Amino acid sequence: MTSALTLYQAVVIIAGLAGKNLKDLELVKGVLDSIESLQGLRIIPLTLEDLTQAASLMMEYSLGYEDALHLATALRNNAKEIVSNDRDFDKTPLKRKFS
């Protein structure tokens, strides 16, 4: 599973790498279609609870708001692990996996 926030972040990063912007509908649709086509991937929506819980998690774990949003979403869905190259997640209850 992944947070809907991940899809947005992927679009932003790929647009930047490609020298494009978020007004490029073909790019946006291409990135989203590619991610959504991954078999077995479940996209978890952000909730108002995630958005507010993230503010508390920022303080508790010294995270930026985006990382705290991912953490809030993961915790709400009882995740035990997170795939990330971001070492900030090492100080959270999730086990960070990255290879």
Residues 54 and 31 in one domain: no
Residues 56 and 92 in one domain: yes
Residues 34 and 62 in one domain: no
> Residue 20 sits in which domain range?
2-44
Residues 52 and 81 in one domain: yes
Residues 52 and 93 in one domain: yes
Residues 52 and 38 in one domain: no
Helix, strand or coil, per DSSP, at residue 94: coil
pLDDT in tens, the chain (99 residues): 999 999 999 999 999 999 999 999 999 999 999 999 999 999 999 999 999 999 999 999 999 999 999 999 999 999 999 999 999 999 999 999 986
How far, in Å, CA of 89 to CA of 83, rounded?
Answer: 9
Phi, psi of 95, rounded to the nearest 5 degrees: -85, 125
Cα 31 to its chain centre, rounded Å, is 15
